Amino acid sequence: MNRLTVLVVALAIFSSFSLKAQIFINTGNPDLKDYVKQDSNAVIWDGGKNIPIPRNVPQDAPAAAQTAATPANHISTASKQDKPSNKQPVAKSNNADLNSINHPSVGHVNQAKAVSAPTAIVAKPKTNHIDKTNGDNQAIKNREDQQAAAASHKEPVPDYPSDAQVGHCYARCQAPNVYDLKEEVVVDKPASVKIETIPAVYETVMTTVVMVPEGKRIITIPAQYETVEENKLVAPASQKWVKTGTSKNCFSTNPKDCEIWELKQVDAVYQKVSRKVEVVPASVREEIIPAVTKEVPVQKIVKPGEQIKTEIPVTYKTIMKKVLVKKGGAYEWKEILCDQDITEGKINQIQEALVREGYDPGPVNNQMTESTKQSIIRFQKDKGLPVGNLNIETLKALGVN
């Protein structure tokens, strides 16, 4: 009897008591104690081999369940200290842990619900103190995202796929978003104005440039003289009395009475002298000093520049818009590669295909390493493929037979 059968038997024993019990999986959430206080029948399971017994279940009833308890792929959550392990599992065999890539416990919680057994509730921690490598962070984040998606999914996942075929293997995978392409007319180029500048037209002409401007100067012309002679009056003409003698016919005994006086004209006395006479008076003359010029070439505008504005109307184009048809995130059954078919050669093909697609699976060593798993998950999300297992759709997309 394998572990899954024992687990089903144990859960059936729980359901026979028609009891309402809750088993909380310890994820490091500090609120778990509050949940337990609110429900006196709830217990906390730390992920050990033995599942704890709810308080309202008789001690002899779940004995089989205690011995059967640990599922093959139980949910891996954070420890009590809320510190995830830094060690990544490395596949030492061809199929070790391959089909549990980022998968929430492959249905153990859902099977418990199906048989009305005690409910296993995953209480997500408020904080997740992860200070590890990028691979650790991505792996833990992917597991938490899928656990949250599974818990919030309203429609329960069937216990088994409805269209299963004998000899094929199946597992629950997270469904991708489904998109459809829809035509949409959008603006290709908005309306605008094109401005074309036409430069001015010039020609070269010779022009006279004044180097030194025109000036004036004043010239003084001195006076002209000549020497002339002239008589200078020394004594003016005059009259004087001249005693000419004694009158012989004087009868006076006084000699004075017998004197004869004659009034005579005395000519003026002149002296010859020389002097300069101004012939031409002094004067001034204004003289013009011509300007100094030079012939130089100059650019002359023939036609001025201008701007021509042209209005360009808006143009449209038709594009294919990606429209979400169906929201992903729910879990559904998908056909996967059976464990016995996952050989080292098959893993090698997958790793080489990931490299061709531009993903880094780590060293191509025929081993399903954590880097290879994370590359497969990134490939599935990028291509819109079911996420969580090495499903047939992913192999076809990678070109692996």
- Give residue-wise pLDDT tens across range 204-247: 999 999 999 999 999 999 999 999 988 888 899 999 899 888 88
The overall pTM is greater than 0.75: no
Looking at per-residue confidence, does 51 or 393 come out higher?
393
- Give residue-wise pLDDT tens across range 107-160: 333 333 333 333 343 334 444 433 444 445 555 555 555 554 444 444 577 888
Cβ-proximal residues to 388 (8 Å cutoff; 6+ apart), any chain:
101, 102, 103, 104, 146, 171, 172, 173, 174, 331
pLDDT of residue 102: 44
Going by pLDDT thresholds of 50, 70 and 90, the confidence category of residue 54 is low
pLDDT of residue 146: 53
User: Can you tell me whether residue 390 is helix, strand or coil?
Assistant: coil
pLDDT of residue 109: 34
Q: Where are the alpha helices (DSSP H) in 267-369?
A: 344-356
* Pairing between β-strand 306-312 and β-strand 192-198 as defined by DSSP bridges: antiparallel
* Pairing between β-strand 119-122 and β-strand 331-336 as defined by DSSP bridges: unpaired
Please name the residue that has the structure tokens 């962070």: 137
